[in-house]
Structure 1
Amino acid sequence: MKGLKHTLIALGIAGVPAMAMADIQMLDDSAMGNITGQVGVTIELETRLNIDRFLYTDEGTLEINDISVGGTNRVDMFSEMGTNLTGAAPSDLLDNIRINIDIASDGDAIINILPMTFGAVDMRISTGAWNLVGDSNSTTIMDNFHMDALIGSGTLRVDTATDVLSFRADIAIDDMDFEVPFLALGIEDLRLTGADYDLDAPQPLDVFTRVEMGIYKTANSQGISSLAIEIPEFEADMSIGSVIVGGTSIGSIFMDDLAIRDTQMIIYGH
């Protein structure tokens, strides 16, 4: 078999015309450096994530139980529009995601997240109890968290000139529920949409609110390098279908044109 392979290779070389062989030139290191492959990498993603328990421990512990991330398995999100906004079949998987990864000529890394089919990516996040646990006592600060959301698009960019990680996403929350047991408080049917979204004349592009963040290194008040998160502007409409206090609904809440601007957080240990 090895002899046959060698014979075929020899025949192939012999079949190349002498004139063509004369035109073949070896590339030097400089020429090789100018050769690039196909532009970017694309990943098509389909997944479901489950974590039984997440622990953050300082002197005490924050414990989050039964974390689940997947698809909503729904076609009726923002049902007032009367259409399947995902453009895909219902599934409990986080899917319909295309991730494009590119390195620009200036060295910037760009990750662009888009739906594979026309529409949006649906996502469900749910958890069990969030507990604060000490040596002898514990408190449940949140329980039965559930969120159904749409992601229109997302972009991550690492800027080599400024060393800033920029994040941008278009999101809409159709339904969020959670309980705060130690305050006897519950939130049901929370919705978050774009500030221009009109329930009487709903438009798919208006349903999304844009979230933008800049993440980078900066000095804190003591001159120590710290993590900075900057939110230049955030605008949305938010409604809460029912506020539960002591097991009884006390009414609903609507915030029109909620705006948060010029926000910066600096995070460091102590």
Structure 2
Amino acid sequence: MLALSLPTTAMAEFQPLDDGALSGVTGQAGVTIELETKINIDHLAWTDEGTLRVNDMRLSGHNDTVLDNLKLTVDIAGTGEVLEHGFSEIARRADAGLLSTSNTDVADALAKYSMGSEFGKQFNSGDLVIHLGATDYGDPTSLTDYLQAVDFELEVGSITTTGSEGSATLFSDVLLQGYVGPTDLVIRNEGSSSKTLSNGNVVSGAELQLDTHFEVTDGSLNWDAADVILLFNFAAVGIEGLQIHNRRGDDTLGHFGMASATAKLSRGTGSVSGKEGLSIHEVEFRADIDMPVFKVGQVSIGSVQFTDFAITDTTMMVYGH
């Protein structure tokens, strides 16, 4: 009806588009979202026979300011399309001569993310690619500006469990400050295909892939009663000056001093249990961890350091019982 109401002179400006022309006006440029936020949660609870609660949680910028300077790019890839991923912005700057490849991390990024005249990672048709970076990276010749462009602060008052026998506190007074590096979420478009993992679990080929870099520059917490990887119980431990990074040892290349984590999530079936659930596989975490003040009770027993701390070859199948 709108077209019928237009004058003839206006109608003369409209031209029909053939299939070739239409292909050029699809959302190939993607969507960019500039984000500022602060998140406060009074408590988050999971109740079964008992209750697990995360109390007084806050995510913000440093010193309780707004978490800002965030930029999300959202794209649905075409066949073989190269999209922003990881440290591809560093590769772009290196190619332009803004950063020196005498820095081994920069040279690694240029080799890893250079795709002809483009910079990033190549994806398949229909893959959904979400890249988190910064709106403003500051001086394009400064790696420090790039790595510290997005600052964060995470505070948790306590994490507690409650049941018929009473309640217990797992962690309390958690405060972490640091920086968020490039972070990518990719949903692979693999249709109904499946694959078998090395442990025999069968998982969907259509999966969510997480890849992130981050650094904790200062942190403190009370570790009241909890296990680490089901091996070490650190009850009644207090940690101050916590730092999580990747600047030491033999595992630093390509990380620009930041800790890293990757994981893939999809529907899966356990090879032993036969249960269907959420598969979390190809999990990897790499970091150096510094705890300069390590207290047992109220007394410091000195400092603790982990170098080349790595969690690899980890697979989990999560289902109800």
Same fold (TM over 0.5): yes
Greater CA drift, 182-191 or 115-124: 182-191
Greater CA drift, 232-241 or 156-165: 232-241
Greater CA drift, 229-238 or 140-149: 229-238
Corresponding residue to 2:211 among 159, 165, 168 = 168
Say whether the 8 Å CA contact 2:279–2:316 is kept in structure 1: yes
Share of identical aligned residues, percent?
A: 32
> For the residues of structure 1 that align with 2:10 and 2:238, how far apart are their CA atoms?
80
Residue 97 of structure 1 corresponds to 70
Alpha-carbon spacing, 1:33–1:172, altered in 2? closer, same or farther (3 Å): same
Residue 59 of structure 2 corresponds to 69
The yes-or-no answer on 1:108 pairing with 2:127 is yes
Corresponding residue to 1:133 among 154, 162, 187 = 162
The CA deviation at 1:235 is 2.4
Residue 208 of structure 1 corresponds to 258
Say whether the 8 Å CA contact 2:28–2:75 is kept in structure 1: no
Residue 115 of structure 2 corresponds to none
> For the residues of structure 2 that align with 1:65 and 1:178, how far apart are their CA atoms?
14
Deviations 1:212-248 (A, max 9, x none): 1111121122212111112454322111111111111
SS in 2 for 1:207: coil
Say whether the 8 Å CA contact 2:242–2:292 is kept in structure 1: yes
The CA deviation at 1:38 is 5.5
Say whether the 8 Å CA contact 1:195–1:257 is kept in structure 2: no
Q: How does 1:1-270 map to 2 (within 5 A)?
A: 10=7, 13-14=8-9, 21=12, 26=16, 34=23, 35-37=25-27, 39-73=29-63, 92-105=65-78, 106-118=125-137, 119=146, 120-135=149-164, 137-161=166-190, 162-182=205-225, 183-196=235-248, 206-220=256-270, 221-270=272-321
> For the residues of structure 1 that align with 2:300 and 2:128, how far apart are their CA atoms?
48
Paired letter, 2:309: L
SS in 2 for 1:163: coil
Say whether the 8 Å CA contact 2:248–2:307 is kept in structure 1: no
SS in 1 for 2:62: coil
Paired letter, 1:98: K
Say whether the 8 Å CA contact 2:280–2:317 is kept in structure 1: yes
Say whether the 8 Å CA contact 2:28–2:76 is kept in structure 1: no
RMSD of aligned alpha carbons: 2.6
Larger radius of gyration: 1
Give the number of equivalent residue pairs. Answer: 233
> For the residues of structure 1 that align with 2:134 and 2:249, how far apart are their CA atoms?
21
The CA deviation at 1:259 is 2.2
The CA deviation at 1:176 is 2.0
> For the residues of structure 2 that align with 1:100 and 1:33, how far apart are their CA atoms?
23
> For the residues of structure 2 that align with 1:14 and 1:143, how far apart are their CA atoms?
71
Paired letter, 1:213: A
> For the residues of structure 1 that align with 2:294 and 2:221, how far apart are their CA atoms?
10
> For the residues of structure 2 that align with 1:52 and 1:191, how far apart are their CA atoms?
26
> For the residues of structure 1 that align with 2:313 and 2:10, how far apart are their CA atoms?
70
Structure 1 gap ranges (5+): 1-5, 74-90, 199-204
Alpha-carbon spacing, 1:117–1:25, altered in 2? closer, same or farther (3 Å): closer
> For the residues of structure 1 that align with 2:249 and 2:59, how far apart are their CA atoms?
27
Deviations 1:161-202 (A, max 9, x none): 12111111111111221113353221111111114489xxxx
The CA deviation at 1:53 is 1.1
> For the residues of structure 2 that align with 1:143 and 1:15, how far apart are their CA atoms?
67
SS in 2 for 1:128: strand
